[in-house]
Structure 1
Amino acid sequence: MPETVEYGLLGPVTVHCDGLPAALPRRQRELLAALLLSAGRVVSVEALLVTLWGAAPPPTARASLHNHVKRLRSVLDAGREPAERRLLTEPGGYLLRLGADVLDVTRAETLLAAARSAARAEDWAETCELAADALALWRGEPLADLGSDALAREAPRLSELRLQVWETRLEAQMHLGRNAEVISELRALAQEHPLREQLHGLLMLALYRCGRRAEALAVYRAARHVLVSELGSEPTPELQRLHQEILSDEPAAPAPAPTAVPRQLPPPVAGFVGRESELAGLTAYLDHAAHDGATMVISAIGGTAGVGKTALAVRWAHSAAARFPDGQLYVNLRGYDPQDPVDADDALAGFLVALGVAAPRIPAGRGERIAAYRSLLADRRVLIVLDNARRLEQIRPLLPGAPGCAVLVTSREALGGLVARDGAVRLDLDVLAPNAAAQLLRELIGERARRDEAAARMLAELCCGLPLALRIAAELAALRPGAELAEIAEDLADSRHRLDAFDAGGDEASAIRAVFSWSYRTLEPEVARAFRLGALHPGPAFDAYAAAALLGTDLPGARRLLDRLARAYLVQHAGPGRYAMHDLLRAYARELAAAEESEAERRAALTRLFDLYLHTAAQCADALFPAESSRRPAVAAPPGPIPRVANPSAATAWLDAERANLVATALHATGFGWPDHTTRLSVILYRYLDAEGHFSEAALVHTQARRAAALLADVSAEAAALRQLASVDFRQGRFAAAADQLNLALSLLAAVGDTRGQTHTVHNLGLVERHQGRFLDAIGHLRQALALNRAQGDTLGVARTLMNLAVTERSLGQFGPAVEHLTESLVLYRELRDRMGRDALTVAGEADALTNLGVVDLRLGHAVQAADRHRQAIALYRSVEDQRGLVEAMVNLGAAERHQGLYPMAGRHLEQAVALCRELGDRYCEADAHANLGVVYLRDGRHPQAADELRLALALYRDLGDQAGLAQALESLGQARAAVPHGRSG
């Protein structure tokens, strides 16, 4: 495999592997050139298609590109392990990794930077030698052998680099007294590049020093004529000054470039990780601006306090410094510091000094300073970093006026005006991803973080991925070298005192509270109040309706305040129309709320929020399950704006979006004084959480409801919570636990005479007993529930109980009563649907009756009729997106198709059912699916696969305690084993 690879772009595209040239066809050379020009960054497939085939690639272009990549990889990565490969396939494109000093362009840029450094030290011999070495890297016109228009646009940049090297070498030769040697070379270059005044100036000076004053003046006249006729402008003041000095025999400088080359960047921070895409994005912006010949303004290295804006800007600026040979300027504008912000006038003065202007010669007025600054930057390539800006007034006077320079701005404000008016590009910086945060801790802490990866990840999570907090945590670890990382993480886990731990040893410039406070102090009073009260929200993210409730304002007002907080990076966008705070910022804001808002104001804000969630959840439940509206508590509409959730799709979307907030509301309301909200919320959310399979959230909400009911001494509410917890156990196959919960609920309800609650509980107990194989007990409870439902006039309850009674009768082989009860249930569900519209419960109930009739049909030998019923049921389940019913019907359809001998079709339906069961966490249905699939494979002659499926079914039936399923699966497994030939595994 090639150990060393060297690439060339300064002439025809070349690649040498272990010193030997590799022959590449033109398309592969174009591909290689495109990747080299973006080395270290992913180049999208779309960009490569345009590069290789132009704006209208042929239909076969993607396949051809794949083949070209494959062939190029065979040259660059032959025999290399995947982790060591140079040409990588990334999401959306390809990336070429370069080693150090393997590309001639990079070597030329490095040599040029070294030559200029030697020139500043007036080591002209070293300057000349380094520039000559760089110049020798050119083998002709860059990229001259390629036919790509897109790549041709890159050639001028490489030619410009060559001219800069040439000028540096010629100027050094003149300092060494070799003026006569360079005249012919300078004359040829000046003729080839007639608009380049630096070349004309060097040629004039070389001629003059050789006693050829008249020729030097003639060069000036010719140059002026070209500039006036071509550009309509006079020569630069520097060239005019050199002309006057030659006229008066007083040339003062070896070249017309009196400005200094500033190198003001601060050192990059140690342990910089996790910002690869942002660094690549900044470079991409620079490339784009270079193509357009524009000044690049990047304002949107924006983000919250401590997120690493300055670290990113400085790191990128150092990596891009070679592309700005005329220097790098840097100023901390102190927009969010304890000290006063830096005024633009003072920043201009500092920049003028850095560019070589003597302090006494700095103009007094701002306008004159701006003019002098922009004049010095004209025709130069300088990178300007404006760090920690707060206002546009600090930034605009510091923008250069001509192309070639780049400006990098960091701020805790979004600075939208800079984007709209000045063409800035935004780059919003978020906290580090968990892996990157843990990696930063490993970099900063070292062995302890590598030894205890779990503690490092916990510490990273407690720091919310905020780089400043991570660095303070690393300092804490350094101050306690004998402590385990887990111990430090445990100390930080106490949310009441977490901000105290991040005091950075009393360093106000780094302490979390102080850093946050500099952003907070800039807020208008109503925005500051929104920041404080918004932090009281107990959930992970919230929308404008929630903010309006907390603040007691209207929707436009809430949106305006959230937008202002987002521009200050004190809340983050967490999806369309949603906002969030990371935990450290939330802790700071809650401290402010406790200090500046009264307890009554805080309680009123949360009451408005919880009322909003309770009422909207009730509206959603009514939209989705109107047949059960009488079983839910009535909730009055709160004041303030309320989301529109009148139709089922809007209701489902709202519940899905707010599910985590509703769970958080139940947890917070129970523990902090709103227990009645929790008990009602539990009943309102029960059917949605159950139907959608959100069992973990259901367990949390209903457990909190039981605690809240105990606080309220509300026995009926406690029994309802127990019944809902039993449903969670039942859905996950924990039948014994479900029975215990229901029996406890029954005892509570009997004590207070709650007949309605007893009806629901007895019905559910019958379901659990059926799944435990206690069919006679189940029939007794279900008949009791049926009588109670008929007495109470509950049509929905009657329909549901009839169906479950029929399923139990079917299990005992009582097919006549089962068909009778299922038929009556089907009629009732259809009547309810006709009366109430397409309610999800009535539609799903109709489907339940159909698929259960299909099961009976199959038992009676009517497989075709059974399959038809299951298909009708599947269509109904899909119409209301009932995934749990759908998967059960698919299992039953597979069984019916199996009995018709349609094994491939049955296998497909059962395989889909297995996948969906796992997604829903429905272990009982999954057991049935595996069992049926095993029998399909057995009948189809696929005996080893049959045995595998049946073993899976057995394991699930054992866990579930389903004796009937267990016996049937064991019988089928015995058949599968008997069918496997001797000596083969089964």
Structure 2
Amino acid sequence: MGGNAFGEFLRECRLSLGWSQDELAGRSGVSARSISVLESGRRLPRLSSVGLLADALGLDPRRREQLLAAARNAVAPLTQEPVATEPVSVPSGAVPRQLPGAVAGFTGRAAQLKELTSLLDRDDTVVISTINGTAGAGKTALAVHWSHQVAERFPDGQLYVNLRGFDPSGLPVQPAEAIRGFLDALGVPAGRIPAGLAEQAALYRSQLADRRILVVLDNARDTSQVRPLLPGSSRCLTVITSRDHLGGLIVSEGAHAVPLDLMSTGEAYDLLANRLGPERLAGEPQAVSDLIELCAHLPLALSIVAARATLSPTLSMAELVRQLRDVRDRLRALDIGDTSVNLEAVFSWSYRTLSDAAARMFRLLGLHPGPDISVSAAASLAGSPPGETRAVLAELVKTQLLTEPSTGRFTYHDLLRAYSADRARQEEPEPERLAALRRMLDHYLHTAHAATLLLNPPNDRLSLTGPEAGVCVDELADDEQARQWFTVERPVFPAAIDRAADAGLDSHAWQLAWSVTIFCIRAGHWAQMVTTQLVAIAAAERAGEPHGQAWSLRELGRAYIRLGRYPEAQDTLERALELDERLGDPSGQARTHNNLGIVCSAQGDHSTALEHGKSAYALFRSAGNRVGQAEALNSIGWAYSQLGQHTEALRYCEQALDLHRAVGSRHGEADTWDSLGYAHHHLGAYAQAVTCYHNALALFEKLSARHPQADTLIRLGDAHQAAGDLPAAHLAWQRALPILDDLHHPDAAALRSRLSDLNTSLQVFRYLRTITPDPA
């Protein structure tokens, strides 16, 4: 009765596709005679064959499980009493052709196809290739497409099995079941197949020993699942696809790894063009480019988008882009109602294989703003020790839910990020999410604050509350490590500050924004400063922390100065000064006066700049702030130079230099050497000016202060030009120009024009030297 139920179900599935028994046999590798006997109910199904039939029929997960259940019910009575079955003979030495149908419209992956083909020439060893990549990367499509391309190189046949290692059913194919299916396809009579796995594997290897067969093991769970299925003959070639790296096979069997990354932009475009036609894409090039980015270059996502566009011919690419813009709904926007190609479902098949600790880490990573994360930041998110965190992150990399693009930095593409964030919302209680977010922000805040003090030891410091329990603060030994940390983490800061403000952690928002300003100023990331300080000002106001608001206004003013937006800088700094005066903060007022002096000087109002410098000095002195006094003295000296009083400028700048050295302010020392160089230049002491400028440059280069380097190089060139040394001037300006270009600084155009004029002068100079007799 069970056999009849299974047979009827199988026949119903086959007829629904309009296939004959021969067609199903050709697609599954199960003989037409066996299918006929199974459908008649005269033979009980073998579970290994059922898997092959289900794959060939392309059943969705629900109907596949129904077919398997019918098969299990049919064979269950065997445990109680034997059932007579009609023997089905398969000819000895059968040539299996089990590859699934060729992939329609396959595009791209030229490098991987070439790499796989190169393995065909290795006939002195057992060749195993493992294609590994994240869910939806197209591993099966690549393996099947390549296998069809080279099938004729394997005249004794091709074996294929979907091992369902990451299947929605959660039931991977057992090695014994897969081997039984292969032995059936190879024509081994059932009576000759031993019961034990080891004996079955030995028989399987014996059957392949003298044959040239391609073996495709698709969707493997891990090394233990595939090892019994590997041929022992060098005449055979095995291709394995998996979300697992299968590192054990690389070590013990010498497997050749073929990592499958996301598609390139060109490959992604070709995929869409192949599915939709180039004409449809040509009309909306920007929308197509946006679609590729929103699909994270993931082949499955691109194929789903193409399917949606095919099903709705009137749907424009721009409308598809609009629907995918909201990252929280992106996965649902890519759902076309088929669980086998539903991204959320496909990702979940990997997620369900994780340990509890790895699953929790994956969820919490959805709270991180990206683009990548360090071990210590991940440890802070989870509140776990770094050693445990490394092991958990390694598990996520192993299952292709994360990648490690550089040592100790982990990331995933945007669609996995959306899935991770969704898992966090669904499975992590809100208090747990907020606690994890606070720990992560504590990591960035406390590390950034310590790093900025290393970059500029005499700098002001914030009164921070201690980090939460479980927070891992990076230990940085010196200013070089601090610069490296800031450089690597810089892309994280703007989003982390936004995330803090959105979560109501306003103190974290403005304090983190303040803690990264020294690095941003020196590295030239001024536009980023404007964005983050605007968020910081609002956050400090919401938090009821006027000191934070004044500090943030002042940093915003400094950013505007560097960008040449002087009216905005003036307004912002005047707001800061008013707040500083209300708070009775002399050092805050002094800093703001210093910055207002820079604004006035930049706009040619040097007398007002001098007054601001003197006000700053008096306020710093009343507060006992020696670092500030040194800065103010240099500002006063610079203002005197701009007013043409260069001897007076030297007097103030020399006092500033002594004080900067005494307090250990290397950046202030560099600034002052630059001011001294300017004063000596305009007093006609060109050699002294050049020496001062070189002293400034040596310090600026050590401090990675890029814009000050460019400014000093320009002034060094001016001094050389004034001294008549045109080649040295040309060299200095040439060094400055790429820095300004890289910073997108408006001074670059003027310097380029000066270099052009100097080039003309140099050509005339060199020509005159050729026609002027040597005095000797």
Instruction: Specify which of 517, 534, 538 is matched with residue 365 of structure 2.
Output: 534
Q: Within 2, Cα distance between the matches of 1:334 and 1:928?
A: 65
Q: Does 1:404 align with 2:235?
A: yes
Q: Within 2, Cα distance between the matches of 1:309 and 1:541?
A: 25
Q: Does 1:274 align with 2:105?
A: no
Instruction: Specify which of 471, 495, 512 is matched with residue 681 of structure 1.
Output: 512
Q: Does 1:455 align with 2:287?
A: yes
Instruction: Specify which of 158, 172, 175 is matched with residue 328 of structure 1.
Output: 158
Aligned partner letter, 2:298: L
Shift in alpha-carbon separation, 1:673–1:375, aligned structure 2, 3 A: same
Q: Does 1:940 align with 2:774?
A: no
SS in 2 for 1:808: helix
Deviation, 1:399, is 0.7
Deviations 1:578-607 (A, max 9, x none): 111222222222222222221111111111
Shift in alpha-carbon separation, 1:636–1:278, aligned structure 2, 3 A: same
Deviations 1:522-549 (A, max 9, x none): 2222221121112221221111111111
Q: Within 1, Cα distance between the matches of 2:701 and 2:133?
A: 44
Shift in alpha-carbon separation, 1:690–1:745, aligned structure 2, 3 A: same
Q: Does 1:523 align with 2:358?
A: no
Kindly report which structure 2 residues correspond to 1:833-852, keeping only aligned pairs within 5 A, or say none. Answer: 833=664, 842-852=665-675
Aligned partner letter, 2:331: L
Cα contact 1:392–1:417 (8 A) shared by 2? yes
Q: Does 1:474 align with 2:306?
A: yes
Q: Within 1, Cα distance between the matches of 2:572 and 2:348?
A: 51
Shift in alpha-carbon separation, 1:928–1:893, aligned structure 2, 3 A: farther
Deviation, 1:827, is 1.3
Instruction: Specify which of 862, 867, 873 is matched with residue 690 of structure 2.
Output: 867
SS in 1 for 2:394: helix
Kindly report which structure 2 residues correspond to 1:551-590, keeping only aligned pairs within 5 A, or say none. Answer: 551-590=382-421
Kindly report which structure 2 residues correspond to 1:340-489, keeping only aligned pairs within 5 A, or say none. Answer: 340-359=171-190, 361-446=192-277, 447-489=279-321
Kindly report which structure 2 residues correspond to 1:13-24, keeping only aligned pairs within 5 A, or say none. Answer: none
SS in 1 for 2:218: strand
Q: Within 2, Cα distance between the matches of 1:728 and 1:385?
A: 59
Q: Does 1:923 align with 2:746?
A: yes
Cα contact 1:693–1:921 (8 A) shared by 2? no
Cα contact 1:887–1:917 (8 A) shared by 2? yes
Kindly report which structure 2 residues correspond to 1:622-661, keeping only aligned pairs within 5 A, or say none. Answer: 622-628=453-459, 630-640=460-470, 641-661=472-492
Aligned partner letter, 2:270: Q
Instruction: Specify which of 843, 846, 854 is matched with residue 677 of structure 2.
Output: 854
The percent of aligned pairs where both chains have the same amino acid is: 40
SS in 2 for 1:426: strand
Cα contact 1:898–1:936 (8 A) shared by 2? no
Q: Within 2, Cα distance between the matches of 1:710 and 1:435?
A: 48
Deviations 1:487-521 (A, max 9, x none): 111011122222212222x2111111211121122
Q: Within 2, Cα distance between the matches of 1:775 and 1:452?
A: 54
Q: Within 2, Cα distance between the matches of 1:755 and 1:927?
A: 40
Deviation, 1:927, is 5.7
Q: Does 1:753 align with 2:576?
A: no
SS in 1 for 2:258: coil
Q: Within 1, Cα distance between the matches of 2:698 and 2:375?
A: 38
Deviation, 1:907, is 1.0
SS in 1 for 2:339: coil
Match in the other structure for 1:707: 538
Kindly report which structure 2 residues correspond to 1:758-907, keeping only aligned pairs within 5 A, or say none. Answer: 758-833=589-664, 842-907=665-730
Deviation, 1:843, is 1.9
Q: Within 2, Cα distance between the matches of 1:367 and 1:781?
A: 88
Deviation, 1:931, is 6.0
Deviations 1:317-360 (A, max 9, x none): 22332332322211111112234322222222222232233455
Cα contact 2:263–2:299 (8 A) shared by 1? yes
Q: Within 2, Cα distance between the matches of 1:799 and 1:929?
A: 31
Cα contact 1:492–1:498 (8 A) shared by 2? yes
Match in the other structure for 2:526: 695
Aligned partner letter, 2:262: V
Shift in alpha-carbon separation, 1:391–1:860, aligned structure 2, 3 A: closer
Q: CA RMSD in A?
A: 2.2
Cα contact 1:618–1:635 (8 A) shared by 2? no
Higher CA-based Rg: 1
SS in 1 for 2:675: helix
Deviations 1:538-564 (A, max 9, x none): 221111111111111111110111111
SS in 2 for 1:431: coil
Q: Within 2, Cα distance between the matches of 1:519 and 1:913?
A: 52
Aligned partner letter, 1:473: V
Q: Within 1, Cα distance between the matches of 2:528 and 2:108?
A: 33
Match in the other structure for 1:6: none
Q: Within 2, Cα distance between the matches of 1:281 and 1:729?
A: 53
Cα contact 1:615–1:635 (8 A) shared by 2? no
Match in the other structure for 2:72: none
Q: Within 2, Cα distance between the matches of 1:587 and 1:493?
A: 12
Cα contact 2:610–2:635 (8 A) shared by 1? no
Cα contact 1:732–1:921 (8 A) shared by 2? no
Deviation, 1:631, is 4.1
Q: Within 2, Cα distance between the matches of 1:767 and 1:678?
A: 27
Kindly report which structure 2 residues correspond to 1:83-94, keeping only aligned pairs within 5 A, or say none. Answer: none
SS in 2 for 1:356: coil
TM-score where L is the length of structure 2? 0.83
Q: Within 2, Cα distance between the matches of 1:777 and 1:671?
A: 41
SS in 2 for 1:539: coil
SS in 1 for 2:487: helix
Shift in alpha-carbon separation, 1:938–1:773, aligned structure 2, 3 A: farther
Deviations 1:158-207 (A, max 9, x none): xxxxxxxxxxxxxxxxxxxxxxxxxxxxxxxxxxxxxxxxxxxxxxxxxx
Aligned partner letter, 2:247: G
SS in 2 for 1:636: coil
Cα contact 1:844–1:885 (8 A) shared by 2? no
- Unpaired runs of 5+ residues, structure 1, are 1-256, 834-841, 944-986
Deviation, 1:646, is 2.6
Aligned partner letter, 1:313: A
Cα contact 1:850–1:869 (8 A) shared by 2? yes
Q: Within 2, Cα distance between the matches of 1:562 and 1:488?
A: 34
Deviations 1:731-774 (A, max 9, x none): 12121221122122223333443333222111101101100111
Deviation, 1:362, is 4.2
Deviation, 1:367, is 3.5
Q: Within 2, Cα distance between the matches of 1:613 and 1:668?
A: 12
Aligned partner letter, 1:679: W
Deviations 1:8-62 (A, max 9, x none): xxxxxxxxxxxxxxxxxxxxxxxxxxxxxxxxxxxxxxxxxxxxxxxxxxxxxxx
Match in the other structure for 2:136: 306
Deviation, 1:788, is 0.8
Shift in alpha-carbon separation, 1:777–1:268, aligned structure 2, 3 A: farther
**Moved beyond 6 Å, runs of 4+:** none
Q: Within 2, Cα distance between the matches of 1:432 and 1:593?
A: 28
Deviation, 1:258, is 5.6
Deviation, 1:709, is 1.7
Q: Within 2, Cα distance between the matches of 1:588 and 1:862?
A: 66
Aligned partner letter, 2:334: F
